[in-house]
Amino acid sequence: MSFFWSQWKGEFYQPSTVAWLKADWQANLVRAAVGVGRDGQPDPDLDKVHALIRAAIDQDIYVIIDWHDHRAEAHTAAAVAFFEEMARTYAGNPHVIYEIYNEPLQVSWSETIKPYAETVIAAIRAHDPDNLIIVGTPNWSQRVDEAAADPLDDSNVAYTLHFYAGTHKADLRARAITALEANIALFVTEWGTVNADGDGEVDHESVAAWMKFMRQWNLSHANWAVSDKEEGASIVRPGASTSGGWTDDDLTASGRFVRELIRDWNQPVAR
């Protein structure tokens, strides 16, 4: 499960919420979406982010530290400083994954995103030579084929694929297959059951097609989002507890659906 932007729904960044997602949802990964402001600086309240990271480590599940930005190449120095701190703090901890660029806009992979990634990766690797690093791809992390054509020179990097089932269909899966067949790793760090604007009804048919695809290619994934914002992608209703312990009545239609998908993920799939 991916948590919502930290500066807007940071009240959910609680150890008890992480514990509930592991125990009740059987989630084995959470994502801290560290919001980046227009000034290029991350959410100043990083205590809650560290609390979420430590909670995931304590629960023995993975945690993605996500630089949740759409113009990270304009904020390279801030990203370097942020990830240097995170890498110094969590170096070598196998639970920790670094996601250095959430969703680039319609910019060049080779000329814009890749040089940014090389700079930030070097800063991380100076402290943490081994842990997985995930890099966003052009067009809101959908042009994984462009990254595959000019990959990074690092032995433990994955490339970000994002989809929202109501909007993104077979054409995006075709691009993903192109990338996978080029022998690069993809990681779906954010996906939604609804439309790309985060709202609308659950598209059950499209979600089923995406779940089949991710199972087929063994792709790890995080659903958007642990939030009570009044929109379709949120997993809980407005006013629900921020610390877990949710009943079915607390969950949205998407929340109920995703909970069952995650709980059943390791069950045998009908062939």
- Marked catalytic residue, from 103, 111, 118, 205: 103
Spatial CB neighbours of 67, under 8 Å, sequence gap ≥ 6: 34, 36, 42, 79, 82, 83, 99, 100, 101, 102
Spatial CB neighbours of 115, under 8 Å, sequence gap ≥ 6: 73
- Marked catalytic residue, from 73, 99, 146, 190: 190
Cα–Cα dist 87/97, whole Å: 10
Annotation marks residue 103 as catalytic? yes
> In one letter, which amino acid is 66?
D
Tokens 């598209």 belong to residue = 203
CA angle 140, 35, 117 (to 5 degrees): 55
| Active site positions, annotated | 103, 190
